[in-house]
Copies of this chain bind each other. A is one copy, B any other.
Amino acid sequence: MKELEARIQSEGHVLGEDILKVDSFLNHQIDPNLMQAMGNEFARLFESQGVTKIITVEASGIAPAVMAGLALDVPVVFARKSKSRILSDEAFTADVYSYTKQTTNQIRIEKRFLSASDRVLIIDDFLANGQALLGLKALADEAGASIVGAGIVIEKAFQPGRKAANEAGLNNIQSLARIAAFEDGQVIFVDEEK
């Protein structure tokens, strides 16, 4: 998505080897118009899939997921994250390890909001190591729901997240921006590769 790539180029900050900060429009400050354009693009990419529900994880996934839900006219459920493991008969839960923060969080969705008849689209802001995506997939699997695919805002294609998701059986992954590498603090997109 050219508009998103342009914003990453103009406003993103590359930190170290593998961190991209895009907190001026995606995960601290949010540009609502860009979010809506991204939501519309996710809807276009998955419109033939019979999506009945979108799931994401708080907090940065919420804005793009809600805009996709608006465009597809389906409810959105955001998984709650907590540092403590809470056992409950009423929730699906999964553990998600964050490589950035080096902590494990539990994510949870109340059982009454996901069912075996759902056709689930997973939305998230980043795909890097794939831990959040695999956690969300686990919640949908626990519910017996069908997963139609995943829509990602920014994929760091040089990290193993897509491969891990594919190996877990999640194949239809659509990323609005795919980053091949960071070179000298610059972002190189996959479709710019020679």
Query: Contacts A28-B113, A62-B59, A62-B63 given: A36-B76 contact, CB under 8 Å?
Result: no
Interface: A3 (CB within 8 A): no
Specify which of B23, B25, B75, B109 is in contact with A31 (CB 8 Å cutoff). B75
Chain B residues lying within 8 Å of A109, measured Cβ to Cβ, are 28
Interface: A88 (CB within 8 A): no
Give min CB distance, A52 to chain B, whole Å: 12
Interface: A5 (CB within 8 A): no
Query: Contacts A36-B70, A59-B59, A62-B62 given: A76-B30 contact, CB under 8 Å?
Result: yes
Interface: A110 (CB within 8 A): yes
Closest chain B residue to A71 by CB distance? B32
Report the bound CA distance from A28 to B109 in whole Å: 8
**Interface SS of chain A: helix, strand, loop or mixed?**
mixed
Interface: A35 (CB within 8 A): yes
Contact A29 B59 (CB under 8 A): no
Specify which of B59, B70, B83, B113 is in contact with A33 (CB 8 Å cutoff). B70
Report the bound CA distance from A75 to B24 in whole Å: 9
Interface residues of A (CB under 8 A from B): 23-25, 28-33, 35-36, 58-59, 62-63, 66-67, 69-70, 73-78, 80, 83, 109-110, 112-113
Beyond the given pairs A32-B70, A35-B70, A63-B66, 16 more chain A to chain B contacts, judged by CB atoms under 8 angstroms and listed by A's residue number, are A25-B75, A28-B80, A28-B109, A28-B113, A29-B76, A30-B62, A30-B78, A31-B75, A32-B67, A32-B75, A35-B66, A36-B70, A58-B59, A59-B78, A62-B62, A66-B67
